[in-house]
Amino acid sequence: MVCRTRAIYGCSGTELSPEERAFFREAQPWGFILFARNVSQPNQVKALVSSLRDTVGDDQAPVLIDQEGGRVARLRPPHWRTHPPAQRFGDLYRSDPEAARQMCALNARLIASELFDLGINADCVPVLDVPVKDADAIIGNRAFSNDPEIVTALGRTMVDGLLDGGVLPVIKHLPGHGRANADSHLALPRVGALESELRVSDFAPFRALNDCPLAMTAHVVYTAIDPDRPATTSETVISDVIRGWIGFDGLLMSDDLSMKALSNSFGERTRAALDAGCDIVLHCNGALSEMLDVAAEATLLEGQALARAERALARLRPPKPFNAEIANGRLNECFGAAA
């Protein structure tokens, strides 16, 4: 049996280059992630997913995607549905909580059915961040609400719907990106709120959903907890907050190492995230030179990290019966054709 390493990688296009095939065979990552650049039409995506899994010799290897709905959707018309942003469900919840939960569940099952048909078995949703006034707009309507109780209720609905559809959810961004004052794709955000305030709001949905199989960190500095390092590379945040107060014991992956919130070489970023307590590192942009540097520091998946990975994959199950046409019709009735 080939031992896998503690990394998830992207690729550069709609099919693997010979160099990428050789790299993935050598590096043996735990999984892969797809972006819009990797997508043209359904048969092509299925072939790419199969090719990725072939490189590691595992037909169940995790293949992830960010299919949130709204502005973060890698699969788009004409081949795939347009899904509402999370905030639409949160807005509905304020007037009709039961209808909001029903629509959110249908939306989750529709997303899962599209992904399952392509062979994609993990979706980087739900966003459990709680936005605050004057925060950077990078989260915005990707979040269900600025009310942590609504985020918790609809986050749970989304998690259950994806699992019922045969797809693993990845909650993000632990321990909370909603208060960030910058887009971590471009700069390193800093949050100055007291830990007591963060526990009541930002951290609360993650604590309520701490039984989820997979989660992604935030490249955000919480100055009251660790003034020097973002959560992704902070042993204090991961041990005391994510594993401690929040109580998350699933597989913890870093957010994308190629984001500009992080500095230093890619090897140093990899070591810092793994040493801090991330189980897996995520590298998304498909740049082979950067992936080679990550691979040089991505150690074998073993010990607690391996146990968490195995527990996560054990949560996969065949989809429950579901009528996508009826579900899509009900969403359209609720939100209009844009849903």
Amino acid symbol at 96? D
Q: What DSSP character marks residue 244?
A: I
**244, 231 in Cβ contact below 8 A?**
no
Largest CA distance in the chain: 54
Please say if 283 is a catalytic residue: no
**Catalytic pick among 66, 129, 255, 256:** 255
Please report, for residues 100, 106, 140, 320, the alpha-carbon distance to residue 97 in angstroms, rounded to integers and kept in the order given: 5, 14, 21, 24
Is the Cβ–Cβ distance between 246 and 203 less than 8 Å? Answer: yes
DSSP state of 115: H
255 is catalytic: yes
Angle between helices 97-118 and 324-335 (to 10 degrees): 140
Distances (CA, A) of 289 to 8, 20, 27, 93, 307: 15, 11, 13, 46, 30
Structure-block tokens of residue 130: 């709680």
Nearest to 29 by CA among 326, 286, 221: 286
- Is residue 180 within 8 A of residue 124, CB to CB? The reply is no
Q: Exactly one of 59, 185, 211, 275 is catalytic; which is it? A: 185
CA–CA dist 20, 327 (Å, integer): 39
Q: What does the alpha-carbon distance between residue 41 and residue 61 come to, in Å, rounded to a whole number?
A: 21
Q: Which residue has the tokens 């579900």?
A: 327
Catalytic residues: 185, 255
